């Protein structure tokens, strides 16, 4: 089971370079589905240690709408921690701007930053990877699964 930590505790639990390659990804992961599972599994396959930055409830609400998240951050973290592909989950506070993310990513020093091809912040993340000297990998999805689409079907949104 993956370890769940706050952003302040993060550096205590990061592996050293000799322990392997760190892959970093992030997201809301509200209403966990097979698309998430496949993405995280593929991201883990790119390295030895998968770190997931998990958005705060406040940020999920801001990004996805008033009726979200369906699951609070701690519940989303617990679901992610049950996946064998995930090694460390970082509970993000409300991130106010891009520099907050960059500061955190700089602390982690990942070898790889992995995103999906439909990530709305793909160019920001590409710039962050370049700025800190990380590889940037886009994971193609064979079939698009969307939490927002599922939420609509379930009439959550």
Q: Which residue has the tokens 């369906």?
A: 70
> Which tens digits make up the pLDDT trace of 17-26?
889 999 999 9
Residues of the chain with pLDDT under 70: 142-157
pLDDT value for 149: 59
Q: In CATH, what number is assigned to the domain containing residue 75?
A: 3.40.50.620
According to the model, what pLDDT value does residue 1 have?
Answer: 79
Domain enclosing residue 42, as ranges: 3-153
Distance CA 6, CA 20 (A): 22
Rounded Cα distance, 22 and 63, in Å: 27
Q: How many angstroms from the chain centroid is the CA of residue 99?
A: 17
Query: What is the rounded distance in angstroms from the CA atom of residue 31 to the CA atom of residue 137?
Result: 24
Domains contained in the chain, number: 1
């Amino acid at each position: 089971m993956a370890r769940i930590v706050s952003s302040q505790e993060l550096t205590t639990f990061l592996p050293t370079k000799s322990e392997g390659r760190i892959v970093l990804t992030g997201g809301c992961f509200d209403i966990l589905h097979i698309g998430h599972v496949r993405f995280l599994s593929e991201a883990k396959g790119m390295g030895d240690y998968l770190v997931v930055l998990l958005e705060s409830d406040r940020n999920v609400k801001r990004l996805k709408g008033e009726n979200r998240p369906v699951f609070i951050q701690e519940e989303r973290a617990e679901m992610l921690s049950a996946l064998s592909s995930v090694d460390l989950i970082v509970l993000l506070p409300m991130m106010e701007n891009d520099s907050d993310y960059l500061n955190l990513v700089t602390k982690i020093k990942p070898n790889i930053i992995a995103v999906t091809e439909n990530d709305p912040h793909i160019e920001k993340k590409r710039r962050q990877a370049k700025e800190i000297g990380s590889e940037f990998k886009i994971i193609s999805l064979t079939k698009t699964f969307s939490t927002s689409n599922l939420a609509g079907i379930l009439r959550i949104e």
